[in-house]
Amino acid sequence: GGTAETGAPGAPGGARGAGAAPPRTRMEAKRAARARKDSPGVVVSRVVGELFITLGVVMLLFVTYQLWWTNVRAHQQANGAANNLQKKWDENGDDRDPGAFSPGQGFAIIYIPKLDVKAPIAEGIDKHKVLDRGMVGHYGKNPLKTAMPWDKKGNFALAGHRNTHGEPFRYINRLKPGDKIVVETQNRYYTYEMSSILPQTPPSNTGVIKPVPPGSGFTGPGRYITLTTCTPEFTSTYRMIVWGKMVEERPRSEGKPDALVG
């Protein structure tokens, strides 16, 4: 008679044998549910893992934005500014004094043929109004005021990003003595030859943009150009400096200089 109930639903023997029957009481059901739950350590580990994955995705998106999208936007803005400048230059007019240009206003275009660089030059070195828009900035405000290309003497000093936001000066470390740097204005082309480089100097060394920069190799007043950018790459710890000397001044009406032809 006892064997007829062996394995019946709810019987202890059936629970031990098949393992498929529900617990007999609510208390046993709660105990079984608690047993099936993950331990706190497992839950914490899972949450931390998910947070790290999310953080990794966010960081990847940020790096993509910095290294790719800022360059795309800056190139678009810089190309638009350069095109607008050249359209304005179709009208008659003379090169103006530095004071005639407002901060952030483009007034020239720089070409570095060896590096395939073409970028508008704007007045001032403001990060947001000038440099982050892919433009090269002119040191034109006291106490860092420098000359214009058409000045008979002086140092035309410029700043540009080395990484992100168009990075026009990324590879200026590759320039060698004799390499050409051309500045186009409304009426003239000014051609410079790279003379020397200072691979690293503190940002506080403002002497590098003086009319006759110490360490440049220039011994007296002349018509010079200075390119400044951050170094090492992806940092702003130091500055890299490239100097050049003007070798030709050519009216735009006579066509492009040899450095831009070919």
CA 35 to chain centre: 54
User: Token pair of 161, please?
Assistant: 């990003």
Catalytic residues: 161, 230, 239
Instruction: Judge if the upstream peptide bond of residue 12 is cis by omega within 30 degrees of 0.
Output: no
Side chain identity at residue 117, one-letter code: V
Tell me how far apart the alpha carbons of residues 94 and 12 are, in angstroms, rounded to a whole number: 104
Tell me how far apart the alpha carbons of residues 37 and 150 are, in angstroms, rounded to a whole number: 79
SS3 label, residue 13: helix
SS3 content of the chain, % helix, strand, coil (to 5): 35, 25, 40
* Cβ(84)–Cβ(101) below 8 Å: no
